[in-house]
Amino acid sequence: MLAVLSPGQGSQKPGFLTPWLDLHGTETRLRWWSALSGVDLVHLGTAADADEIKDTARTQPLLVAASLLAAEHLPMGDVGLTAGHSVGELAAAALAGVLPAEAAIALAGVRGREMAAACALEPTGMAAVLGGDADEVLAAVEKHGLHPANRNATGQVVAAGATEGIDNLAAEPPTKARIMRLKVAGAFHTPYMAPAEAALAAVAAGITVRNPDRLLLSNLDGTAVPHGREMVQRLVRQVTAPVRWDLCMATLVDLGVTGVIELPPAGTLNNLIKREYKGSDALPEIVTLNTPDDLPAARALIARHGTAPRHEPTAPFRVVVAPVAGTFAPAEGLAEGGTVETGQVIGHVSTRQEPVEVTAHAGGLLTEWLAHHDDPVAPGQPLVRIGGLQP
C-alpha cells in the first residue's frame, strides 16, 4: 500500500513553490486560491522571505495549497491512504475526497488567521523536548502547567503553554532530555487556541462533505476515519487537541504501508519516519516530492506500491480518547448501554487551565467506560468505547 503525506507548519522554505509555477495552469489556480484564503499565495510561495512565510496566518493556507498543487500531477486513484501533520490534515482530507480543494483552502485561511489572533491574546510558546524517558517527560510537561501539543515520534514531544511554563521547563529539563525552543507565535494545539477552534467550527459547519474514498488517518489518535462529517469535526477539534503523529506512523506500519510520498515542502515527515523506523524491516520506500523534477520518481513509486482499497467502515466499535492530560469526569446521566450522537459531549477533562470537553466522533451505543470519574488521564488515553456505529 502507498501513502501520500502532507506536511505541516515549520516545513516551509522561501521560494519553494517557484518551480511549480512553470507548470501550465498553476499560477492561475494559485490566484483563485489566494482569493479564497485571503493571502497572496503566489507571492508567498515565490518571493516572500523566511520571516514573512512563518506568519501563521500566511503559512497555513500556503502549505495546504502546495500539497494540493503537487497532488494534481499524481495518479491519486492508485493511492491507498492519505494523512497530514497538523494543518496538513486539511490537504489530506481533500485528497481523500472528504472536502473540495477550495473548501480546504478556505478553511486553512480561517484556521491560520484565527490561530494567529488567539496567539496574540496572551504570551505563550512551544518547545521541543528531545530525548529522556517518555513518562518523565510527560510528567515534567504537566508539572509546569504545559500541554504535550505534539508527540511526533519516540523521543520527541513538543510542550506548549504559557511562556513562564516554557521558561521553567527549560530551566529544569527532564533527565537526559534537552529543550529546544520553537520560533512560533504561540501555543498551538492547546486550550489556548479555543477561540480559533470556535471560529473554525462556525465556518466548517456549512461545508458539504463526503465520506473518504481511501483510508484517511486522524492526528487525534492515528485511526482511519470512515465518515466525512466525523473527520471535519476532528479537523476543527485538532486546533486545540494534541497532534499524535507518532500514532499515525504506527498505523502506517500496522497497515503494511510499503511506499510513502511526502508532498511539498517535503523532508520533515520523511525524517521522522526514518528516525522512528531506523534499522527496521518495516521502513517504507520514500519519495520526497519538492519540485516537478521529482514527479517521475513519485509516479514510479505509485506504480510499484499503489493500491486503492475503497474505505468501508468495518470496525465494530470506536474508542474516544482523552484530548489532554488531566482528571476525567463522564457526563451526568450517560450510562453504558445508552445512545450517543455524533458530536455529543460525553464528559470533560479538568486541566490546570480549564475543563476540556470530550465529544463522541461517531454516534452509536456507549458499550463500555474505559475511564471513570476523577480518573487521571493522559493525552490519547482511551476513555469510552462506542459500538453500533452510525454514519
Q: What residues act catalytically?
A: 86, 189
Provide the grid cell at 331: 457526563
Residue 309, number of CB atoms within 10 A of its CB: 12
Work out whether strand 81-84 and strand 2-6 pair parallel, antiparallel, or are unpaired: parallel
d(C-alpha 294, C-alpha 129), whole Å: 33
User: Strand pairing partners for 5?
Assistant: 83, 262
Phi, psi for 378 (deg, rounded to 5): -110, 160
DSSP code per residue over 122-187: S-EEEEEEEES-HHHHHHHHHHTT-EEEEEEETTEEEEEEEHHHHHHHHHSPPTTEEEEE---SS-
Q: Provide the Cα torsion 251, 253, 258, 259; round to 10°.
A: 50
Q: What length does the chain have?
A: 391
The rounded radius of gyration (Å) of the Cα atoms in the chain is 20
Q: What 3-state class would DSSP assign to 311?
A: coil
Question: Residue 227's closest CA among 388, 85, 363?
Answer: 363
Task: Quote the cell numbers at residue 29.
Answer: 489556480
Query: Do the Cβ atoms of 259 and 2 come closer than 8 Å?
Result: yes
CA dihedral 109, 112, 117, 118 (to 10 degrees): 130
Q: What is the DSSP secondary-structure string of 337-390?
A: T-EE-TT-EEEEEE-SS--EEEE-SS-EEEEEESS-TTEEE-TT-EEEEEES--
Of the candidates 108, 109, 124, 319, the residue with the CA atom closest to the CA atom of residue 222: 319
